[in-house]
Chain A
């Protein structure tokens, strides 16, 4: 008999989220982490009312981008703060889904390490990442 569990992914692990952003191309020193959220800035250098705990500034994004941020809610889960403009050219649903997939792998790898389990990773034809955790 097997148990199947379906999960609705939540971004709640700061380290895994930052590691995911690094895997997407930024370096650690390009990613700001703030305990108290701070303002994001727009492409003209204008301070926005939006605030975030984890931020990639527009100078590290390119084009006429605005800052990208993630704000931690009262429940501890992070929500992406991405301008409509940036969603339109690069950081839309597809990018967010890619981030979520990478984040999921990071969380699983960390938990596997804590449990002393080995991880084998493969990618299926439909793009699904399969992780097999084994402990002898």
Chain B
């Protein structure tokens, strides 16, 4: 299944998110149709590893 999320802000700013890269072709097509790409990045869905700082904050 392909899924793409598009947010269009009241000021006309647009962000596109596609899941797992399966719909990357669609998001690229949309980007081209809508305007200029300002930035494109990948994000990891896995949880961040606990750091010493995080543990200290958790343990309060």
Contact = CB atoms under 8 A, between A and B. Distances in A.
Interface of A: 1-10, 12-13, 97-98, 100-101, 104-105, 107-108, 110-111, 115, 117, 124, 126-136
Interface residues of B, number: 42
Contacts of A9: 12-14, 34-35
Interface of B: 1-21, 23-24, 26-31, 33-45
10 contacts: A4-B17, A5-B37, A7-B16, A9-B34, A10-B34, A97-B12, A100-B11, A100-B12, A107-B33, A135-B23
The 4 closest A-B pairs by CB, nearest first: A100-B12, A10-B35, A127-B10, A7-B14
A3 B42 contact: yes
